[in-house]
């Protein structure tokens, strides 16, 4: 499933979207954490991360205050977040689509309009090296909305474990696209 890296082109930022149910807990946490990780790697201008929900239940609402608490404790601001629902055209407009739980993964796979869109859909925790080789059924992050502060802390921990793998994956995709662009440029230059 590493083919998604090969479809990316250097003419626009590498685009990632994180997806959960209502877009007020898990997916905005993941998007903000990933944005910070790419900034820390000096890739802030090359990678854009956003988030959405599979449902319209929470559209227009801010992030859950318990998720905001966890993010604030880690010096990440979330007050600008406004929940939104997944749109079908994002299959084409995103390079990597990260599902936070098994039901989101199945829903995104089922809705994929073509094979290349399907290949972009991954479980976020599939990038956690400790989860290597595990079934996608083992990779879900349960909805902390029904729980308490400890559940949101656990969500943070599970997302954080996958971030280095996602960063490495995206770095490889960008590097591959830049190499391909360089080869294309060399071929054009040698023809003139």
**Residues designated as active site:** 20, 26, 143
The token duo for 97 is 């689509």
Angstrom distances, CA of residue 62 to CA of 9, 36, 65, 104, 180: 33, 19, 8, 20, 41
Q: How far apart are CA 138 and CA 1, in angstroms?
A: 18
Angstrom distances, CA of residue 156 to CA of 47, 84, 135: 21, 21, 21
Give the gyration radius of the chain's Cα atoms: 17
Q: Are strands 47-53 and 96-99 parallel, antiparallel or unpaired?
A: unpaired
Q: Are strands 121-123 and 14-20 parallel, antiparallel or unpaired?
A: unpaired
| 96 beta partners | 16
* Count of alpha carbons within 13 angstroms of residue 118, beta-carbon side: 8
Helix (H) / strand (E) element for 108: namely: helix 102-111
């Amino acid at each position: 499933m590493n083919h998604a890296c090969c479809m990316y082109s250097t003419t626009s930022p590498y685009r990632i979207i994180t997806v959960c149910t209502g877009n007020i807990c898990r997916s905005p946490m993941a998007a903000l954490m990933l944005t910070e990780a790419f900034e820390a790697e000096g890739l802030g201008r090359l990678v854009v991360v956003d988030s959405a929900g599979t449902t319209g239940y929470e559209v227009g609402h801010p992030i859950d205050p318990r998720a905001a608490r966890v993010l604030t404790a880690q010096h990440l601001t979330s007050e600008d977040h406004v929940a939104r629902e997944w749109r079908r055209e994002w299959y084409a407009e995103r390079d990597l689509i990260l599902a936070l739980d098994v039901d989101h993964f199945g829903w995104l796979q089922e809705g994929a309009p073509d094979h290349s869109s399907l290949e972009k859909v991954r479980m976020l925790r599939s990038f956690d090296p400790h989860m290597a080789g595990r079934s996608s059924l083992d990779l879900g992050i349960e909805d902390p909305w029904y729980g308490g502060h400890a559940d949101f802390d656990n969500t943070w921990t599970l997302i954080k474990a996958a971030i280095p793998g996602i960063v490495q994956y995206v770095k490889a995709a960008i590097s591959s696209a830049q190499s391909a662009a360089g080869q294309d440029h060399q071929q054009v230059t040698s023809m003139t």
